[in-house]
Structure 1
Amino acid sequence: MTLLEALLATVILAVVAVACLEGTHGAADLQHRAAAVNAALSRAESALEQAREPFAPPVSGVHAEGGAQVHRMGYTRFPDARVERVSVEVRDADGRLVRLTRLVEQRPGTVR
């Protein structure tokens, strides 16, 4: 093997190693983002479940847990349906907004 062949093999190996390391870094970044979104969704689901309780306050606004914002609105697509749309917004650890929206059964005594 000549010196030129050895240098060429080293360059090819370096290029392949850099590509593999970039792929690993990208996968680790995606895993970090997924964990942050998962934690935010857990907080949003918790706030949504608390908002669905029969005696929860009917108003929209900032929820105590994790700074979640709860928005309630009537579901107007089917006016006779006894459902309301509840949307919960939270920020993940990186500051991105995560929104969870569900149609829930309208609570007793709720006036439209």
Structure 2
Amino acid sequence: MGQRVAGTCYVKVDAAQLTITGGCEARLMDVKRESVVAGFYKEEQLTPYVKVTAVYTPDLPIKKLVEGTDMTVVCEFSNGKVYVLSGAYLVDEPVASGDDGTIDLQFDGLKGVWQ
């Protein structure tokens, strides 16, 4: 029997659902490990994030997105896994594209949890 592992994702920012294209991206780990020598490693803290491409719909809450500094972003992957990013805020330089009506968004946050 086949099992779906990819497809439509759902993203909510402070309970406002975004219409997105493609998928979602979120870190699996909150640290980056690098071997020093075999059996010994160092760790570096990583910032949790969620990346999506949102459709620039008339009801897209632009003001909330650009002014928010303590948002909760919930990303539900099509395989049933859910990633919750708390203390989220937009980073980089989101730009609205008139060619395809989308905006690439990256939310960084304080804590990301897989449920």
Task: Choose between structure 1 and 2: higher helix proportion.
Answer: 1
TM (norm. structure 1) is 0.31
Structure number with bigger Rg? 1
Task: Choose between structure 1 and 2: higher strand proportion.
Answer: 2
TM (norm. structure 2) is 0.31
